[in-house]
């Protein structure tokens, strides 16, 4: 039988998962404590026991979202085949991550954090840690000799920033051909910059 601590942890996780699902499906403004408690299947009292406000609920969900996004990438990375064209495969993997529901849930929080200092601080910490974890995974997946190049960090960070911009553009105008060209261009740039002479 589950202990009180285990039940409490399960309730918090259910609330955080429901918060993320609300962000994905309904957006930030509709992610209310009422909507989350209904989606999570917990009582209103249980939610307010753990989180006294929407802000507290969202800050907890931020950390949970970072963990879920890391797990998503890690699981995909485990299935990455050695006989695949490694560079283009890894670049495609990071692009797919930027098209996922989890990325757009994070984007909802980023927009809200522009005018909410507490949300901004919590999101900043979570995203920095997530970025470090993604960097470690990328190092493993790209492998040598690319990761030993002195410009690897710079090129990898630039790639992520371009992908974020392209993913935001997709909200208003999806263009699969242009997206394919972005992937192809980054593959050429990556190899041309980081491959040994």
Mean of pLDDT values over 150-178: 91
pLDDT at 7: 83
What is the pTM assigned to this prediction? 0.84
pLDDT at 72: 79
pLDDT category at 79 given cuts 50, 70, 90 is: low
pLDDT at 84: 53
Give the pLDDT confidence of 23-42 residue by residue, as tens digits: 999 999 999 989 998 999 98
Cβ atoms of 23 and 100 within 8 Å: the answer is no
Tell me the residue range of the domain where 148 lies: 4-194
Non-local CB neighbours of 108 within 8 Å, separated by 6+ positions = 23, 27, 28, 31
Q: What is the mean pLDDT of the chain?
A: 87
pLDDT category at 80 given cuts 50, 70, 90 is: low
pLDDT at 88: 86
Tally of domains in the chain: 1
Residue 78 has pLDDT above 80, yes or no: no
| C-alpha distances in Å from residue 20, one per residue of 6, 120, 130 | 21, 17, 16
Residue 195 CA from chain centroid, whole number: 28
For the domain that residue 72 is a member of, what is the CATH number?
Answer: 1.10.357.10
């Amino acid at each position: 039988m589950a202990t009180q601590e285990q039940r409490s942890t399960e309730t918090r996780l259910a609330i955080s998962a429901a918060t993320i699902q609300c962000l994905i499906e309904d957006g930030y403004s509709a992610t209310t404590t009422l909507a989350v408690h209904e989606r999570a299947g917990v009582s209103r009292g249980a939610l307010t026991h753990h989180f006294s406000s929407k802000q507290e609920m969202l800050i907890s969900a931020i950390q949970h979202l970072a963990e879920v996004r890391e797990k998503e990438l890690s699981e995909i990375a485990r299935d990455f085949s050695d006989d695949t064209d490694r560079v283009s495969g890894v670049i495609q993997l990071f692009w797919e991550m930027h098209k996922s529901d989890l990325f757009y849930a994070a984007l909802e929080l980023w927009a809200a954090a522009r005018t909410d200092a507490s949300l901004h601080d919590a999101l900043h910490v979570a995203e920095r840690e997530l970025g470090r974890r993604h960097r470690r995974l990328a190092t493993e997946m790209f492998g040598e000799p690319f990761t030993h190049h002195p410009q690897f960090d710079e090129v990898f960070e630039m790639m992520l920033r371009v992908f974020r911009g392209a993913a935001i553009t997709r909200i208003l105008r999806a263009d699969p051909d242009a997206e394919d060209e972005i992937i192809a261009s980054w593959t050429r740039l990556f190899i041309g910059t980081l491959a040994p002479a």
